[in-house]
Amino acid sequence: MRKKSQTKRAGAPWASRSTERGFTLLELMIVVTILMILLAIGAGRYQMAIVRAQEAALTQDLAEMNKAIQNYTLDKEAAPSSLDDLVSAQYLGRIPEDPITKTNDWVTENCDELLSADQTSTGICSVHSGSDKVSPFTNTPYSSW
């Protein structure tokens, strides 16, 4: 007499379930739900990374332009009357695009104070973004940077 264990087919455990193929609807729904959650988290982080990069570019552009204004004023003994003066005098290669508004709508601030005793006239003393948006990280308007 043969034992029961010897009558069973040898092989892989999944070979005995030849009629069950693929995944169940529940398994697919769970996988799709997990993927959607991960995509939502990733998209949010991606958007915040874009905002951080734009803010870093804005900070760099403002620092460069304000430094060019100071250098122009000290060298020429007169403040520039516009940002185009900085380009024509080669203190800037070009006027950068505002990374927040994607335009060249910089707001210039005219000052009545003189930076040096040799300065003869007033003009632009600083530059700010023309955006009315507020930074989500510092809660300050970009126009005040």
**Dihedral sign for Cα atoms in the order 85, 107, 103, 47:** positive
* Residue 3 confidence (pLDDT) above 60: no
> What is the pTM (predicted TM-score) of this model?
0.72
CB-based contacts of 125, cutoff 8 Å, min separation 6: 69, 73, 79, 109, 110, 111, 113, 115
Q: Write the pLDDT tens digit of every residue in 20-69.
A: 688 899 999 999 999 999 999 999 999 999 999 999 999 999 999 999 99
Structure confidence at residue 2 (pLDDT): 53
* pLDDT at position 118: 67
pLDDT of residue 12: 57
Q: C-alpha distances in angstroms, 43 versus 28, 30, 52, 133?
A: 22, 20, 14, 21
**How do residues 81-131 score in pLDDT, each as one tens digit?**
999 999 999 999 999 999 999 999 999 999 877 666 666 677 899 999 999
For the chain, what are the domain ranges? Answer: 24-144
Cβ pair 66, 127 in contact under 8 A: yes
pLDDT at residue 112 in the model: 77
